[in-house]
Structure 1
């Protein structure tokens, strides 16, 4: 199927909350303010520098605007919980969170997987939903009937019920393809820029759908409102305490160090997925190594140091501080109108041990439960952003691999699932009892 793209997929390299705030800032303020340089602050455990813009801003020689600083402030609010390396994020149990430990495997084999009808350029919805439907902790929560709507507004869109209904049909065992009517009818409630009948970016849809589910679970408005101060902080805290962050949430630690005097600033950022560059790498392992490698900021990218009192070279680095239960890896294949169609190898298992941060900012000592198994591969077929089609390879509840192409679902071998031009990869954390780390081995996957 060919579909015109009015906006290049994959261009928005930001978390869901960032996209939402950026849209609001641009609409209200008419664009970004005058640029300001990143600053290394004395005794600042969380500095006001956007690590998600490390390449989009710094490498282009741009600074940090007031609008971006407001985005960072929201990130810091989301990251206010206590984190523990390798153990996920501790948070109090609420009505929006799972009452039991998250299941990291299927308790039983369910019925056959159903395909999803294409309702007019909706392959991006179908492929994304298939990956989410085959994510055990999310699918079991949606099928378990644990959710109770906290707000009842006639005619209001409930993202949890809409996704639960679709997932139930996908895993319902019937032979006839289902139709994701509720999700498609409410595309604009999920993302304000989405338009029915127009092909959209599956990665952006994934993040905005998870954001809508999280906001619904938290009882915050289905559409982002201009709420400031304490009310906004409470909204963000409630959204970050939902099962969405229990499942997909991890934490990054960013450091920015002045190379003249050694002053270092540290930030902590929650994430629902990791977006990695593939321009000069051949494997996902190498892309992750590059994502967490130190980078020198010099020339027009120099930073202002509070201790030195002047601009100078600096070094910045990201590392994983706490790992998610489900790891979503976004391979950045789109740059403007150009698509990078290179093959990037990925394995059926992945270990994040080598990219964890340690106590002093170094590679962490071996910890348990940092290994993952692949269960979903979302693929964009097409030569450019102007046309294409989305399909998904998913692991069924019986362990078999399936190719989901809209209405058509067929069983394939694992080799087929591992030889695709992957756009988004979905990895499920190995249960702790199965983890078999060998003491002292911390870079099993990385070449």
Structure 2
């Protein structure tokens, strides 16, 4: 959100004078903040997260020279190359405004939607050159989604590709992000009419290939109807973020689960869940090893976008980035950059607040380290 401060003088309101005094009391800013262009915190937070990803930045530099054919990539390349103490996202905002008119205006928007729109636009600009596409090189998942009839076992398979995985939160349920991932891949029973006449199928998902950077969207906004009006309700569940985790168990149910004939009650779902956890020799379970070798490697927590406020329209996005060398955290709040700990005071009010406000989480795959047992905590 825009937070411009007027010069102090006799024409200032009491609120403006107090805001100006508060600004003077703030510690000196570190470099690397992004100028607020007017309700552009969603742009700043998204760009700070992408800027922290060395592999993505290098991929953009390699293909961003053709300004005529790749205007967004050219703007991103210019942004990443800037060494100004205060960065400007005006070029990126201008090009995204040509993709969607509303991004060229001054209204608040969702950081997750903006980021995925940017990655999709990069893919379109790259055309048929998928091998060098920065979006696909760094963020693309491939997931095999299978539907198996609970009666005859007929199976259809779809190949899903995405840049960001959306994880559903449960109201007032405090969990870890790896538990949310596990739940995403649990088999579920769906209504689906088969040619044999059965009305139910078991849905399973399996990871075929993993991204270099794991982007997870924590779905904190649920659509609810209050007094006949549809609105978005924010969920304040606290989500623990391990500093290191793997996808070895998420989506590890082998490719084909053969469900015995039944009348379509919930025992079919129980069978599928048990099969997903079973050994390769379990009767009724046929397995195909299509998972990536990278599944044995850990992911390190790299960055978090937090959302403060009760609604997207009136809320505020900030980015928290973990420094590569020191492993210390910095908070990027538009132009203002602060360390997680300053003068023995937490920049976040508490760790609980951080867990309650995290909205987009980014992990980086560690290709130089074998998987360690157990997940370390964030702090």
Cα shift at 1:273: 1.0
Cα shift at 1:168: 2.1
Q: Does 1:189 align with 2:117?
A: no
1:339 to 221, 226, 234: 234
Higher RCO structure, 1 or 2 (CA under 8 Å, sep 6+):
1
Cα shift at 1:193: 4.3
Cα shift at 1:303: 1.2
Change (3 A) 1:315 1:386: same
Cα shift at 1:190: 3.4
Spell out the pairing of 1:4-403 with structure 2 (5 A cutoff).
113-142=31-60, 144=61, 147-149=64-66, 152=68, 158-169=71-82, 172=83, 174=84, 176-218=85-127, 238-239=129-130, 242-279=133-170, 281=173, 282-297=175-190, 302-306=191-195, 308=196, 310-336=197-223, 337-357=232-252, 360-361=255-256, 362=276, 367-368=293-294, 369-398=296-325, 399-403=327-331
Paired position in structure 1 for 2:25:
none
Structure 1: which 5+ residue stretches go unaligned?
A: 4-111, 219-236, 439-443
Counterpart contact for 1:350–1:445, Cα < 8 Å: yes
State the SS of the aligned residue for 2:239: coil
Instruction: Report the RMSD for the aligned CA atoms in angstroms.
Output: 2.9
Query: Could you tell me how far apart the structure 2 residues matched to 1:264 and 1:152 are?
Result: 46
Query: Could you tell me how far apart the structure 2 residues matched to 1:415 and 1:354 are?
Result: 34
Cα shift at 1:327: 0.5
Change (3 A) 1:162 1:240: same
Cα shift at 1:239: 4.9
State the SS of the aligned residue for 2:218: strand
2:333 to 386, 405, 424: 405
Query: Could you tell me how far apart the structure 2 residues matched to 1:356 and 1:335 are?
Result: 25
Change (3 A) 1:311 1:189: farther
Larger Rg computed on CA atoms: 2
Change (3 A) 1:386 1:193: closer
Cα shift at 1:311: 4.0
Query: Could you tell me how far apart the structure 1 residues matched to 2:220 and 2:253 are?
Result: 31
Change (3 A) 1:126 1:360: closer
Query: Could you tell me how far apart the structure 1 residues matched to 2:122 and 2:324 are?
Result: 23
Counterpart contact for 2:109–2:313, Cα < 8 Å: no
Higher strand share: 2
Counterpart contact for 1:323–1:370, Cα < 8 Å: no
Paired position in structure 1 for 2:9:
none
State the SS of the aligned residue for 1:434: coil
State the SS of the aligned residue for 1:390: strand
Counterpart contact for 1:214–1:240, Cα < 8 Å: no
Structure 2: which 5+ residue stretches go unaligned?
A: 4-29, 224-231, 257-275, 278-288
Q: Does 1:434 align with 2:369?
A: yes
Query: Could you tell me how far apart the structure 1 residues matched to 2:130 and 2:59 are?
Result: 17
- TM-score, scaled relative to structure 1: 0.61
Query: Could you tell me how far apart the structure 1 residues matched to 2:47 and 2:337 are?
Result: 14
Query: Could you tell me how far apart the structure 2 residues matched to 1:303 and 1:254 are?
Result: 14
Counterpart contact for 2:59–2:132, Cα < 8 Å: no
Deviates more, 1:384-393 or 1:371-380: 384-393
State the SS of the aligned residue for 1:304: coil
Counterpart contact for 2:209–2:292, Cα < 8 Å: no
Paired position in structure 1 for 2:360:
424
Paired position in structure 2 for 1:225:
none
